[in-house]
Amino acid sequence: DQQVKQNSPSLSVQEGRISILNCDYTNSMFDYFLWYKKYPAEGPTFLISISSIKDKNEDGRFTVFLNKSAKHLSLHIVPSQPGDSAVYFCAAESNTNAGKSTFGDGTTLTVKP
């Protein structure tokens, strides 16, 4: 049973447009969510996080939205740049298991010049 799901394996957008990456979770105990970016042959790099007490967190071009009732979060990248092309992982944690991140399978984003 996969508790964190990223249903789109891939996404392609034009440079300058918005990229929206989606993530759904099933475990209602999750209360902290993270997005990581991963280039080939490298480890994931932390991008942005959000606590369940918020519904939005913004950091430059990256904004994460959380809809607790729908158990859904999304990462918006505006404007998208070719250097954003990477695999994006959504991850979730609970206070009772802090440090134990549950990852989705990732979405490969391609930003075309």
Partner 1 sequence: NAGVMQNPRHLVRRRGQEARLRCSPMKGHSHVYWYRQLPEEGLKFMVYLQKENIIDESGMPKERFSAEFPKEGPSILRIQQVVRGDSAAYFCASSVQRGSLHNEQFFGPGTRLTVL
The interface mask with partner 1, positions 79-98, x = CB under 8 A, is ----------x-x-x-x-xx
Q: Is 23 a residue that touches partner 1 (CB under 8 A)?
A: no
Q: Is the dihedral of CA 29, 107, 39, 109 positive or negative?
A: negative
CB of 45 to partner 1, least distance (A): 7
Identified binder of partner 1 from the candidate list 20, 22, 71, 103, rule CB under 8 A: 103
Q: What is the CA radius of gyration of the chain?
A: 13
Pairing relationship of beta strands 10-14 and 107-112 according to DSSP bridges: parallel
Look at residue 68 and give its three-state secondary structure: coil
Which of 1, 60, 69, 99 touches partner 1 (CB under 8 A)? 99
User: Is residue 53 a contact point for partner 1 (CB under 8 A)?
Assistant: no
Residue 95: φ, ψ to 5°:
-60, -30
